[in-house]
Amino acid sequence: MWNRLKALLINTPHFNHISQCERTNNGRNAWNTLQGYFEGFQFHHRSMDRAFFTLTHTFYTGEHTKFKFEKYVNKHKEAHELLLDAEYNQGAGLDDATKIRHFEYDIKPEAGLEIALTQMRS
């Protein structure tokens, strides 16, 4: 196991996580270390950070060649899926009101959707 992990990860940043196992060629410990890093508490924390960064830094200002409304919607969906995967709020993710709030308030006035947003609010 150690030889396979070393062959796959040598000269990558991830090898730093398992380099302490090289002395003993302990493949099981190396695997557990990698699993803890990529699927443990730190993984959940990084996923939540990435999701909230996306929710707070993604804005829709109108149709552009590289950023259309569908992409804006997909960014929000991906962020909510990350929160679910990270078991945020005991696995429930964000409540619907908070989801709508993030989605609605990140649509800027220059997008020209004020009438639609006003109708949606009422």
pLDDT of 34 higher than 90? no
- Asked if 29 and 21 count as a contact pair (C-beta separation under 8 A), the reply is yes
C-alpha–C-alpha distance, residues 75 and 122, integer Å: 25
101-114: buried (b, 16+ CB within 10 Å) or exposed (e) per residue?
A: ebbeebbeeebebe
pLDDT of 113 higher than 80? no
Per-residue pLDDT, 47: 85
31-69: buried (b, 16+ CB within 10 Å) or exposed (e) per residue?
A: bebbeeeeeeeeebeebbeebbebbeebebeeeeeeeee
Q: Looking at residues 25-47, what average pLDDT do you find?
A: 81
CA-based R_g, the chain, Å: 21
Give 116's pLDDT tier (boundaries 50, 70, 90): low
